[in-house]
């Protein structure tokens, strides 16, 4: 009887090991003095930086969601790894934490020698942007569980913050300023609706040019999540930040509401003339009004800080000097209603 091996069942461990070897230099480039372990172990060792007096570890996990479907359709895989990192590191940043390290989970039906390095290379790029180390992960080849030409991603980030420097929104008060940082487009949210509207309702293809949107459609839809870590940490070193929100699923009202204390609220004027074209195209395709669109999409604002009114202008200047596009978007006010954040046309 012929011997039937693991490779015969569709799992090629040697291929995965070989591809990881080709990425070792890029992975090592994300490491810092706190990383103690080498690539390839059963687990990763990372020290907590010794400069912290009372460190608290902050963790988050997320995926890329159905945005991956766009990558499959377009055959472009080098940016979704940035999304994977961005979704988790931006979340831990909201508590004032600096990302320490990141791990990825890549699951597929069959490892593609071109796709896999592109995806993991994007993870490396995201870690470099977030100034955190890619210390490990898992590659799972599962034939018959996933389609051969598809994969799924999950990411795990751990950061650190001084216990007395945790930012949780509890000190937010009436009169505080709300500062918004521009997004890089859709980021990684709302893609089930995006795909329905663009591909089912409008019958576009990923290579089509959509009126009002520069370039091909997939180029817009695959813009990676903006990673805000470095410029926001710079702000935290210089100013008092009372609350932060990463604008993900739930859009502007859903995410900003999470950090505003009871009894306070925000009237958020949205100037449609400043909203990026892709959101206008989606609103038209789905006949969405402003409130409905804001419940799903970031509408051009990817991250929010709430700061002292007196420091708002200086915070905006610092963020813009750090390469962001930031502006004041509202003021915290008293609120006796049921909704903490009310979106209105500007």
Calculate the average pLDDT of the chain.
95
7-61 pLDDT tens trace? 877 888 888 889 888 899 999 999 999 999 877 788 999 999 999 999 999 999 9
**Residue that terminates a domain, selected from 136, 165, 194:** 165
Question: Is 72 or 38 the better-scoring residue by pLDDT?
Answer: 72
**Shortest CA distance to 193 belongs to which of 285, 274, 273?**
285
Query: Are 39 and 152 within one domain?
Result: yes
Query: Are 259 and 158 within one domain?
Result: no
Radius of gyration of the chain (CA): 21
**Residue that terminates a domain, selected from 165, 187, 220:** 165
Q: Strand 98-108 relative to strand 151-162: parallel, antiparallel, unpaired?
A: antiparallel
% of the chain residues with pLDDT over 90: 89
> Please, which residues have CB within 8 angstroms of residue 178's CB and are 6 or more apart in sequence?
256, 266, 268, 304, 305, 306, 328, 329, 330, 331, 332
What is the per-residue pLDDT for 328?
97
Q: How far apart are CA 115 and CA 97, in angstroms?
A: 32
In a domain? residue 172? no
Query: Are 12 and 156 within one domain?
Result: yes
108-136 pLDDT tens trace? 999 999 999 999 999 999 999 999 999 99
pLDDT confidence band for 217 (50 / 70 / 90) = very high
Query: Are 266 and 195 within one domain?
Result: yes
Query: Are 159 and 196 within one domain?
Result: no
Query: Are 126 and 246 within one domain?
Result: no
- The residues pairing with 327 across neighbouring beta strands, listed in sequence order, are 180
Residue with tokens 């505003």: 260
Query: Are 116 and 216 within one domain?
Result: no
Lowest-pLDDT range, 26-35, 215-224, 336-345?
A: 336-345
149 and 241 in contact (C-beta within 8 Å)? no
In a domain? residue 171? no
Q: Strand 98-108 relative to strand 177-182: parallel, antiparallel, unpaired?
A: unpaired
Q: How far apart are CA 302 and CA 37, in angstroms?
A: 34
Domain count, the chain: 2
Query: Are 185 and 44 within one domain?
Result: no
What is the per-residue pLDDT for 165?
97
What is the per-residue pLDDT for 100?
98
Query: Are 335 and 187 within one domain?
Result: yes
In a domain? residue 340? yes
**Residue that terminates a domain, selected from 107, 131, 165:** 165
Query: Are 146 and 252 within one domain?
Result: no
Residue-wise over 124-145: b if at least 16 C-beta within 10 A, else e? bbbbbbbbbbbbbbebebeeee
Question: Taking residues 265-281, what's their average pLDDT?
Answer: 95
Name the residue range of residue 265's domain.
Answer: 177-345
- Residue 107: alpha-carbon gap to chain centroid: 20
Query: Are 202 and 292 within one domain?
Result: yes
In a domain? residue 170? no
292-330 pLDDT tens trace? 999 999 999 999 999 999 999 999 999 999 999 999 999
What is the per-residue pLDDT for 301?
98
The CATH number for 133's domain is 3.30.1330.10
157 and 60 in contact (C-beta within 8 Å)? yes
- The pTM of the full predicted model, rounded to 2 decimals, is 0.96
The CATH number for 307's domain is 3.90.650.10
pLDDT confidence band for 166 (50 / 70 / 90) = very high
In a domain? residue 2? no
What is the per-residue pLDDT for 1?
79
100 and 51 in contact (C-beta within 8 Å)? no
Query: Are 195 and 296 within one domain?
Result: yes
């Amino acid at each position: 009887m012929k011997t039937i091996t693991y490779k015969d069942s569709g799992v090629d461990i040697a291929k995965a090991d070989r591809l990881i070897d080709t990425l070792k230099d890029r992975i090592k480039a994300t490491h810092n003095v706190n990383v103690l372990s080498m690539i390839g172990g059963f687990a990763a060792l990372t020290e907590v930086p010794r400069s912290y007096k009372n460190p608290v570890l902050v963790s988050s996990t997320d995926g890329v969601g159905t945005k991956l479907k766009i990558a499959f359709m377009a055959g472009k895989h080098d940016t979704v790894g940035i999304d994977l990192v961005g979704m988790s590191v931006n979340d831990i940043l909201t508590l004032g934490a600096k990302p320490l390290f990141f791990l990825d989970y890549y699951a597929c039906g069959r490892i593609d020698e071109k796709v896999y390095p592109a995806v993991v290379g994007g993870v490396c790029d995201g870690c470099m942007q977030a100034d955190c180390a890619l210390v490990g992960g898992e590659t799972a080849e599962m034939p018959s569980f996933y389609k051969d030409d598809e994969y799924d991603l999950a990411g795990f980030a751990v950061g650190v913050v001084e216990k007395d420097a945790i930012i949780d929104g509890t000190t937010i008060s009436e009169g505080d300023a709300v500062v918004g940082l521009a997004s890089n487009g859709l980021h990684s949210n709302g893609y089930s609706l995006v795909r329905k509207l663009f591909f089912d309702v409008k019958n576009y293809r990923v290579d089509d040019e959509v009126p009002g949107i520069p370039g091909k459609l997939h180029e817009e839809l695959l813009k990676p999540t903006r990673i805000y870590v470095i410029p926001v940490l710079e702000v935290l070193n210089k100013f008092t930040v009372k609350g932060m929100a990463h604008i993900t699923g739930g859009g502007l009202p859903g995410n900003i509401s999470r950090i505003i204390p009871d009894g306070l609220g925000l009237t958020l004027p949205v100037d449609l003339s400043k909203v990026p074209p892709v959101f206008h195209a989606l609103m038209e395709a789905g006949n969405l009004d402003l409130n409905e669109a804001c419940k799903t999409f970031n509408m051009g604002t990817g991250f929010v800080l709430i700061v002292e009114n007196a420091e708002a202008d200086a915070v905006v200047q610092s963020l813009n000097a750090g390469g962001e596009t930031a502006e004041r978007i509202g003021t915290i006010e008293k609120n006796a209603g049921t909704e903490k954040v009310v979106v209105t046309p500007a």
